[in-house]
């Protein structure tokens, strides 16, 4: 497993205010966009990241990338799920969308050829989609592919896999809005622990792959407005949100690195 990669630019930091628990910074270069996953983080609907961490990353101050078996399995299985929707799962996809004939699944533009951005005209907003469902001679739905080891967060009160976690709905809704599309399809593959060890052996089926259509919620406009206000308050003004206990490791790293330079 590769070691964690940390990018840190202390030259952007103007002040670390431990009493207020914020970092004041100057803007260097360009500010990163509000992607689908960052939208949920900014609105505090993401358990995997914090607004403080997101602000540091978007300002180019601190970011950490650490691969793991879950990310690696997802990258291997995502194309398997797209191919499944084209072939054995095509009927299920059609039924999930009310019987509409499916013409195909559009591959996402390669991340390296588009500089990791599928929406260059999105202003403050951007990101990358997992593909599109093609029907009625157009991009009919945004495709969002997920892998998960725990079915509970996708299961409703009746024990049916029909619920999409809110942060994922936010993510895909932003991409639907930027694409001018009202329909989203989540294709989620559920993995057992052994599948993470050998993801190339995982085969999608009706038992482990589920197709959940979702309409883009009307709240997307208010979510984007709130995120844009957050962007102005913190990134434009050059001050992070308050850090919390969840950010302790990052704060410790930054304080240690800054003190070493003195």
Backbone angles phi, psi at 79, to 5 degrees: -65, -30
Q: What is the DSSP string of 169-227?
A: HHHHHHHHHHHT--EEEEEEEE--HHHHH-GGG----TTTEEEEEEEPPTTHHHHHHHH
Q: Residue 67: its pLDDT value, please?
A: 86
Q: Residue 258: its pLDDT value, please?
A: 86
The domain locations on the chain are 5-66+221-261, 69-219
Q: Residue 177: its pLDDT value, please?
A: 98
How many other CB atoms are there within 10 angstroms of residue 158's CB atom? 6
Helix (H, G, I), strand (E, B) or coil at 253: helix
Q: Residue 3: its pLDDT value, please?
A: 60
Sequence-distant (6+) residues with CB within 8 A of 222 are: none
Global pTM value: 0.94
Q: Residue 56: its pLDDT value, please?
A: 97
H-helix or E-strand containing 7? strand 5-8
Q: Residue 29: its pLDDT value, please?
A: 75
Q: Residue 2: its pLDDT value, please?
A: 53
What do you get for the CA distance between the two ends of the chain, in Å?
A: 34
H-helix or E-strand containing 239? none
> Which residues does the chain have with pLDDT short of 50?
1
β-pairing verdict for 138-148 and 183-190: parallel
């Amino acid at each position: 497993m590769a070691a964690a990669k940390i990018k840190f630019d202390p030259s952007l930091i103007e002040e670390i205010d431990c009493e207020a628990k914020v970092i004041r910074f100057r803007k260097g270069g360009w500010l990163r966009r509000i992607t689908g996953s960052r939208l949920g983080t900014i609105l505090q609907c993401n358990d995997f990241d914090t607004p403080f961490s997101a602000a540091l990353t978007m300002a180019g101050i601190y970011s950490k990338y650490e691969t793991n078996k879950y990310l690696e399995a997802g990258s291997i299985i995502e194309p398997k799920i797209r191919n499944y929707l084209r072939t054995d799962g095509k009927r299920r996809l059609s039924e999930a969308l009310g019987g509409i004939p499916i013409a195909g699944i559009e591959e996402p533009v390669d991340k390296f050829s588009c500089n990791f951005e599928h929406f260059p005209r999105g202003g403050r907003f951007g990101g990358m989609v997992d593909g599109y469902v093609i029907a009625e001679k157009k991009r009919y739905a945004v495709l969002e592919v997920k892998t998960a080891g725990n079915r509970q967060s996708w299961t409703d009160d009746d024990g049916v896999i029909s619920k999409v976690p809110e942060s994922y709905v936010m993510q895909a809704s932003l991409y639907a809005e930027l694409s001018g599309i009202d329909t989203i399809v989540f294709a989620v593959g559920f993995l057992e622990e052994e599948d993470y060890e050998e993801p190339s052996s995982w085969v999608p089926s009706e038992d482990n792959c589920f197709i959940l259509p979702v309409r883009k919620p009307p709240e997307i406009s208010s979510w984007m407005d709130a995120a844009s206000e957050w962007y102005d308050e913190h990134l434009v003004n050059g001050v992070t949100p308050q850090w919390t206990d969840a950010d302790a490791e990052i704060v410790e790293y930054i304080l240690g690195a800054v003190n070493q330079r003195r």
